[in-house]
Amino acid sequence: MSRSMTQIATDLDGLTPLDFDPMNVEAAGDRRLQEICAELRERDDAEQWAPLLYSLMERLHQADLGSPGPVVHALEAWDGYRRLLAESLRRKPTPLTVWMANRILNSNPPDFLTWHELLHVAANHPAASSETRADARDFYYQAEPGGT
């Protein structure tokens, strides 16, 4: 029997930056996140669990959650992830969310200009870290319409 969404949310909420600190010999965040994301991908209610992963990325924006890692793989496996990604970028851009937006731009989507503008917003967002703003700025200029 699968665990409840409340149980999964509690596990995700329990993860801290220390769980992903490479200097912490007891860090098990990577393994735990892999397990949780594998569990989520087995479910058919991504509309329920995807917001939990965006919230995790926003809360642990300074932690290395992978590149791309289990969170991005779980989200990108769901067709509806882009709407929530756009909302997350408007709310609190993170290194992973701007990276995901860049992946979308690299696919030259029909809504290229929308994603390009979201990177511009992220590059100037007051809630974003300086690292996130710099990444968004780099991705924005690399993806100039009509450019590369």
Q: How confident is residue 148, by pLDDT bands cut at 50, 70 and 90?
A: very low
Provide the residue ranges of all domains of the chain, joining segments of one domain with +. Answer: 1-79, 81-148
Share of the chain above pLDDT 90, in %: 91
pTM score: 0.92
84-138 pLDDT tens trace: 999 999 999 999 999 999 999 999 999 999 999 999 999 999 999 999 999 999 9
Q: What pLDDT was estimated at residue 113?
A: 96
Per-position DSSP letters for the chain, written without gaps between them: -PPPHHHHHHHHHH--GGGG-TT-TT--HHHHHHHHHHHHHTSS-HHHHHHHHHHHHHHTTTS---SSHHHHHHHHTSTTHHHHHHHHHHH---HHHHHHHHHHHHT--TTHHHHHHHHHHHHT-TTS-HHHHHHHHHHHHHT-TT--
- Give dist(CA 39, CA 72) in Å, integer: 14
pLDDT at 145 over 80: no
Q: What is the pLDDT of residue 67?
A: 85
Q: Which of residues 125 and 3 earns the better pLDDT score?
A: 125
**What confidence tens digit (pLDDT) does each residue in 31-46 have?**
999 999 999 999 999 9
